[in-house]
């Protein structure tokens, strides 16, 4: 029996899917609608001194028929009065006492921080999220990512909050920093109960090439925004992993960054997240995607025999190692299933021009199925990745008899290349055509 309920640093929710702080949580109306459709929690659009926004506010990256694979915004925190938000928060909690309502906060002075924390507690919030992440607009005023990028400042402000907080406090981190575990450790030192990451990545989403201005355009100008959506997931996963593995962080993690389907959710959980926040996907498809998220997560857990999120949280972490700990003797070679090959020859040209010249075409031009040259195949995955047919190219293990050996071990054994022309160069046995071979076709014209 699968149970999706979570207890995240003391915040209980019927499932791990929360709306991240942003436009979908701008009002009690939206949050009530989301809870009614099955969302487990919501982080209220960041509260503070209300702002004045510009138009336009969003930009997107589209890719060959897919809209909004990346999304960028220059919108600020809430532009609604605190009293209106608090009244709505109270009402939401009255109708949905078992759902998680977390108040995202961003203010400046100690007095403001301690005041607003108490205000949202009185309104019935189940938790608080400190927005130290926004990389646009608010950071120019010394808030958002300006705080997240300075661990000492982050620590100080978090302490102010912890002095008055009676409910769990989550620190939301910015990815616009070279080592995200530093602010994460600062949060831990300040006594925060959890961390949430990632906030958006500072970005220019594109340039209007006729008007010479970046998107989104405000009259004739623009400014950098915060990048999110499916394109940022790999960056988020890496940062979640970094925090989850760090011995001095050891805080529950709310995973954020490009989560659009249950598979993304499982990946974040396997790397240590125990609650999940979604914004862009809801801005794209609406609250209705929750049905796919929960049903997909349930079927995954059932098929793997997991009855709770905790049972598989962080399960992939022990397998994420440093490069030097990987087995250098592990060897795979590409294999083409000729019954599935459609003859697009994309694998050929990808390997030929973009990798290791390990795929050959048939001399008979009428036979379009390419052949793997195992001698030259380094097992890089490229062909399998670009092949448009499901399971047509697979990578087959070939090193059955070899003992594993890592870079660390080879270094200890003094068996690594150390000079520029070292005979131990890994590519030495690899056949590379002479440069002039590239122009050979010209003689045949």
- Residues annotated as catalytic are 134
- Asked whether position 345 contacts other proteins by CB under 8 A, the answer is yes
Nearest to other proteins of 32, 361 (CB atom): 361
The answer to whether the Cα torsion of 57, 61, 62, 68 is positive or negative is: negative
Sorted by sequence, the CB contacts under 8 Å of residue 5 that are 6+ apart come out as: 12, 13, 14, 15, 308
**Cα–Cα distance, 439 to 436 (Å, whole number):** 5
- Asked whether position 348 contacts other proteins by CB under 8 A, the answer is yes
Q: Are strands 194-197 and 169-172 parallel, antiparallel or unpaired?
A: parallel
Nearest to other proteins of 342, 432 (CB atom): 342
Q: Which of 346, 355, 405, 416 binds other proteins (CB under 8 A)?
A: 346
Nearest to other proteins of 295, 362 (CB atom): 362
- Asked whether position 373 contacts other proteins by CB under 8 A, the answer is no
Nearest to other proteins of 221, 365 (CB atom): 365
**Cα–Cα distance, 253 to 9 (Å, whole number):** 9
Largest CA distance in the chain: 82
Sorted by sequence, the CB contacts under 8 Å of residue 211 that are 6+ apart come out as: 217, 220
Query: What is the closest distance, in whole angstroms, from the C-beta atom of residue 30 to other proteins in the complex?
Result: 30
Q: Are strands 6-8 and 41-47 parallel, antiparallel or unpaired?
A: unpaired
Binding window for other proteins (CB under 8 A); candidates: 63-71, 133-141, 196-204, 258-266: 63-71
Query: What is the closest distance, in whole angstroms, from the C-beta atom of residue 60 to other proteins in the complex?
Result: 15
Query: What is the closest distance, in whole angstroms, from the C-beta atom of residue 342 to other proteins in the complex?
Result: 4
Q: 197 near 172, Cβ under 8 Å? A: yes
195: Cα separation from own chain's centroid: 15
Strand partners, 202: 226
Query: What is the closest distance, in whole angstroms, from the C-beta atom of residue 260 to other proteins in the complex?
Result: 19
Binding window for other proteins (CB under 8 A); candidates: 43-51, 162-170, 212-220, 339-347: 339-347
Query: What is the closest distance, in whole angstroms, from the C-beta atom of residue 438 to other proteins in the complex?
Result: 16
Q: Are strands 169-172 and 127-131 parallel, antiparallel or unpaired?
A: parallel
**Cα–Cα distance, 306 to 3 (Å, whole number):** 9
Q: Which of 247, 318, 388, 427 binds other proteins (CB under 8 A)?
A: 388
- Asked whether position 385 contacts other proteins by CB under 8 A, the answer is no
Among 208, 233, 288, 198, smallest CA distance to 69 is for 233
Using DSSP, state whether 150 is helix, strand or coil. coil
Q: 3 near 308, Cβ under 8 Å? A: yes
Binding window for other proteins (CB under 8 A); candidates: 45-53, 142-150, 361-369, 402-410: 361-369
- Asked whether position 342 contacts other proteins by CB under 8 A, the answer is yes
- Asked whether position 64 contacts other proteins by CB under 8 A, the answer is yes
Binding window for other proteins (CB under 8 A); candidates: 62-70, 108-116, 158-166, 283-291: 62-70
- Asked whether position 65 contacts other proteins by CB under 8 A, the answer is yes
Among 220, 216, 167, smallest CA distance to 192 is for 167
Q: Which of 283, 316, 349, 378 binds other proteins (CB under 8 A)?
A: 349
Query: What is the closest distance, in whole angstroms, from the C-beta atom of residue 392 to other proteins in the complex?
Result: 10
- Asked whether position 389 contacts other proteins by CB under 8 A, the answer is yes
Residue 374 has a CB neighbour count (10 Å cut-off) of 13
Binding site for other proteins (CB under 8 A): 64-66, 342-346, 348-349, 361, 365, 368, 388-389
């Amino acid at each position: 029996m699968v149970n999706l309920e979570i207890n995240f640093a003391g915040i209980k929710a019927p499932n791990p899917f929360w709306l991240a702080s942003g436009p979908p949580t701008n009002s009690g109306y939206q949050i009530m609608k989301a809870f009614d459709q099955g969302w487990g929690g919501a982080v209220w659009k960041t509260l503070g001194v209300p702002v004045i926004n510009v138009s336009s506010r969003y930009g997107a990256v589209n890719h060959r028929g897919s809209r909004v694979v990346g999304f960028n915004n220059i919108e600020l925190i809430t532009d609604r009065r605190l009293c209106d938000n608090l009244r709505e928060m109270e009402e939401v909690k009255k109708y949905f006492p078992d759902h998680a309502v977390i108040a995202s906060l961003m203010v400046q002075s100690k007095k403001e921080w301690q005041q607003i924390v108490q205000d949202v507690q009185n309104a019935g919030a189940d938790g608080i999220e400190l927005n130290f992440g926004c990389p646009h607009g608010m950071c120019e005023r010394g808030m958002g990512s300006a705080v997240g990028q300075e661990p000492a400042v982050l620590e100080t402000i978090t302490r102010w909050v912890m002095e008055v907080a009676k409910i769990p406090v989550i620190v939301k981190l910015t990815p616009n920093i070279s080592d995200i575990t530093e602010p994460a450790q600062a949060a831990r030192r300040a006594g925060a109960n959890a961390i949430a990451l990632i906030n958006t990545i500072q970005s220019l989403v594109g340039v209007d090439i006729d008007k010479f201005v970046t998107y989104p355009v405000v009259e004739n100008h623009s400014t950098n925004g915060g990048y999110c959506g499916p394109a940022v997931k790999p960056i988020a996963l890496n940062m979640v992993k970094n925090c989850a593995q760090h011995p001095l962080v050891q805080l529950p993690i709310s995973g954020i960054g490009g989560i659009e389907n249950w598979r993304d959710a499982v990946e974040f959980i396997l790397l240590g997240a125990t609650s999940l926040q979604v914004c862009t996907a809801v801005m794209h498809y609406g609250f209705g995607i929750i049905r796919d998220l929960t049903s997909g997560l349930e079927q995954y857990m059932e098929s793997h025999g997991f009855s709770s999120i905790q049972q598989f949280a962080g399960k992939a972490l022990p397998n994420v190692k440093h490069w030097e700990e990987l087995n250098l003797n592990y060897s795979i070679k590409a294999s083409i299933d000729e019954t599935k090959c459609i003859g697009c020859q994309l694998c050929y040209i990808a390997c030929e021009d973009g990798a290791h010249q390990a795929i050959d075409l048939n001399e008979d031009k009428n036979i379009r199925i390419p052949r793997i040259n195992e001698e030259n195949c380094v097992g890089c995955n490229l062909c399998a990745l670009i092949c448009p047919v499901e399971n047509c190219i697979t990578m087959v293990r070939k090193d059955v008899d070899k003992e594993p050996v890592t870079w660390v071990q080879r270094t200890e054994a003094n068996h690594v290349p150390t000079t520029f022309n070292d005979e131990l160069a890994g590519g030495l046995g690899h056949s590379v055509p002479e440069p002039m071979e590239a122009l050979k076709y010209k003689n045949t014209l």
